[in-house]
A and B are shown apart, each in its own frame.
Chain A
Amino acid sequence: QQQVKQSPQSLIVQKGGISIINCAYENTAFDYFPWYQQFPGKGPALLIAIRPDVSEKKEGRFTISFNKSAKQFSLHIMDSQPGDSATYFCAARDSGSARQLTFGSGTQLTVLP
């Protein structure tokens, strides 16, 4: 059972545009929601993360919006750059004993120059 649903699967944005990636979850036990960025041939790297007690977190050009009642969260990349072209994964951490991250299926972002 997929616990974190991510969309779109792929996204093409012009340089300077806004990239928006959405995720939805079902498990109310999730207590931490990170986004990871992965370049080809590399492992995922933490980009930005949010806890459910806040509705928005901004770090530079990256913003997470979190809607606890709807069980949805999204990543916004402002002023998208070609260097942002990568695969983005949303994730959620279980508050239970294992604390492993459950990942979405990923979004391949291409920012055109």
Chain B
Amino acid sequence: GAGVSQSPSNKVTEKGKDVELRCDPISGHTALYWYRQSLGQGLEFLIYFQGNSAPDKSGLPSDRFSAERTGGSVSTLTIQRTQQEDSAVYLCASSLVQGGTEAFFGQGTRLTVV
């Protein structure tokens, strides 16, 4: 596809379960970002990948959150032992280069922890 693809679009999970969210960036984009959007809030930076460099994990809210990017393309955000406060929309974005002037967003994964 031409755009950033995220899956699943919706995820309902029980408290304490682990979840994996997937992001397929635009082909050729070397920079990939994960953001979290809580209801009525702005976008909170979580983690950033640039090529083969070590990721910037400075925005991850706790050690229950982790992410990886395989082969410089697909990324997976994993949340372990989910809590109700993890409920949010998780957005992935990619850009052509690090700090590229346009970041293209996927439509997000809406996570609900019950």
Contacts and interface: CB of A to CB of B under 8 A. Distances in A.
**A and B form one complex:** yes
Interface of A: 4, 6, 32, 34, 36, 41-46, 49, 89, 91, 93, 97-106
A41 B102 contact: no
B114 to A, nearest CB: 21
B45 A100 contact: yes
Interface residues of B, number: 26
Interface in B66-114: 91, 93, 98-99, 101-108
Contact of B42 (A42, A99, A100, A103): A103
16 contacts: A4-B42, A43-B4, A43-B105, A43-B106, A44-B43, A93-B99, A99-B98, A99-B99, A100-B45, A100-B48, A100-B56, A101-B43, A103-B42, A103-B44, A105-B40, A106-B41
| Best-buried of A34, A45, A93, A99 by chain B (most CB within 10 Å) | A99
B107 A42 contact: yes
A58 B111 CA distance: 37
Given A46-B103, A98-B48, A104 B42 contact: yes
